[in-house]
């Protein structure tokens, strides 16, 4: 199953950053849900870890919503990914394989190495990408 939380969180962050550039101070979960074609409850579940990570500031109440917690240039896609998936690995190995030879006996260690290296590579790429970059790049194309 494909996990859509990161792409949804990225869209939320870009939407809030774009709104700020347009002079909109606070964006509600209902407004963000419309853009995601989702429900406000799903959006609020994503807003919690983004706020806890300091990427968003939350304003409670009837007229509440979120604002950016940092400047778009200071928010990397790695920040967003880690906030949404703090312990989730890109890959998971099977743990139900009997150890019958050196391959099956070591597969968990081999795969752990592959997983760790892959995760580091992905986070390295995401750390180079900021919200500001995409706001600038795609605002020009629109």
Q: Residue 88 has what pLDDT?
A: 81
Between 141 and 46, the more confident residue is: 46
Output the pLDDT for position 95: 79
DSSP secondary structure letter of residue 69: S
Q: How far apart are CA 55 and CA 46, in angstroms?
A: 12
Report yes or no: 41 and 120 within 8 Å, Cβ to Cβ: no
> In what helix (H) or strand (E) does residue 58 lie, and over which residues does it extend?
strand 56-59
> Is the model's pLDDT at 121 over the cut of 60?
yes
pLDDT tens figures, 41-95? 999 999 999 999 999 999 988 889 999 999 999 999 999 999 999 888 777 777 7
Q: Is 60 exceeded by the pLDDT of residue 142?
A: no
**Residue 1: per-residue pLDDT:** 58
Between residues 31 and 109, the one the model is more confident about: 31
The chain-wide mean pLDDT, for the chain, equals 92
pLDDT of amino acid 130: 98
Query: What percent of the chain has pLDDT above 70?
Result: 97
Helices in the chain by DSSP H: which ranges?
Answer: 5-21, 29-36, 40-52, 77-84, 102-127, 131-141
Q: What is the pLDDT of residue 69?
A: 97
Q: Tokens 């500001």: give the residue.
A: 132
Residue that is written with structure tokens 């995760």 in the block: 119
Q: Which residue has the tokens 């409850």?
A: 41
Mean per-residue pLDDT, 97-119: 89
């Amino acid at each position: 199953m494909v996990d859509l939380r990161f792409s949804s969180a990225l869209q939320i962050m870009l939407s809030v950053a774009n709104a700020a550039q347009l002079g909109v101070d606070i964006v509600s979960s209902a407004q963000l849900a419309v853009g995601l074609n989702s429900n406000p409850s799903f959006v609020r579940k994503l807003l919690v870890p983004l706020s806890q990570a300091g990427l968003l500031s939350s304003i409670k109440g009837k007229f509440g919503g979120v604002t950016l917690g940092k400047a778009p240039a200071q928010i990397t896609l790695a920040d967003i990914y880690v906030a949404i998936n703090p312990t989730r690995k890109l890959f998971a190995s099977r743990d139900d394989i009997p150890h019958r030879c050196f391959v099956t006996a070591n597969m968990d260690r081999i795969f752990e190495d592959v997983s760790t290296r892959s995760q580091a590579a992905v986070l390295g790429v995401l750390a180079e990408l900021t919200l500001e970059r995409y706001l600038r790049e795609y605002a020009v194309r629109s």
